[in-house]
A and B are shown apart, each in its own frame.
Chain A
Amino acid sequence: QQKVQQSPESLTVSEGAMASLNCTFSDGTSDNFRWYRQHSGKGLEVLVSIFSDGEKEEGRFTAHLNRASLHVSLHIREPQPSDSAVYLCGGEASSSFSKLVFGQGTSLSVVP
């Protein structure tokens, strides 16, 4: 099964600084990629979905996809304390939902 390496495991940034998270996939099984946010005790919510190389912006969240390097990243502009949460990347194969894979998550803390 496809594996996902997500980094860093945890990240602390100051309010207003840029936060950058990364995921590298082990092979090219996934076609579509999403970044999710999970606040403590809550489910996962989709932040950005990206289906082609390049970048996709949703408000303060920008995802970058490079299929050749099997790499997807998330940049959070002007993070706020309310953005403190666990962030997970996910990959989907359009051929089968059973091939959904997720990263282990990055725990982000935004300090005032």
Chain B
Amino acid sequence: DAGVTQTPRHEVAEKGQTIILKCEPVSGHNDLFWYRQTKIQGLELLSYFRSKSLMEDGGAFKDRFKAEMLNSSFSTLKIQPTEPKDSAVYLCASSDLGGVNTGQLYFGEGSKLTVL
């Protein structure tokens, strides 16, 4: 089975640019998460979808971060406009809630964003 796929793996953007990160969850998973990971803050939840419906939008990240789930097998995270403080690794994860593993998260390898 294919795991969670994230593209691009690396992105360099100028301040003020718009960037879009993509995620394909594990086939059949109904829960999808976007996290931001930095050394200082650790993992911070950006968005959480269940069956394509937005359940959590990460509070402090609302203004410039927008996650969408257009269908059950594809999600995007748009950052507009980017700022240098957005430099981080963005992780996507999906879950088989109700499955044998009782909601275990499966993570992609992340998209490393550098904003100059």
Contacts and interface: CB of A to CB of B under 8 A. Distances in A.
A92 to B, nearest CB: 7
Interface in B23-50: 31, 33, 42-43, 45, 48, 50
A44 interface: yes
B45 A105 contact: no
B91 A49 contact: no
Contacts, number: 52
Contacts of B93: 43-44
Interface string B87-106: 00001010101000111110
Interface stretch (A55-63, A64-72, A73-81, A95-103): A95-103
Nearest to A39: B109
A21 interface: no
B4 interface: yes
Nearest to B31: A97
B9 to A, nearest CB: 8
B58 to A, nearest CB: 9
A12 to B, nearest CB: 18
Interface string A86-98: 0010101010011
A34 B55 CA distance: 22
A41 interface: yes
Contacts of B4: 43
A46 B42 contact: no
A97 B54 CA distance: 12
Given A45-B107, A102-B43, 13 more contacts: A41-B109, A41-B110, A43-B4, A43-B108, A97-B33, A97-B55, A97-B95, A98-B48, A100-B33, A100-B45, A102-B42, A103-B42, A105-B42
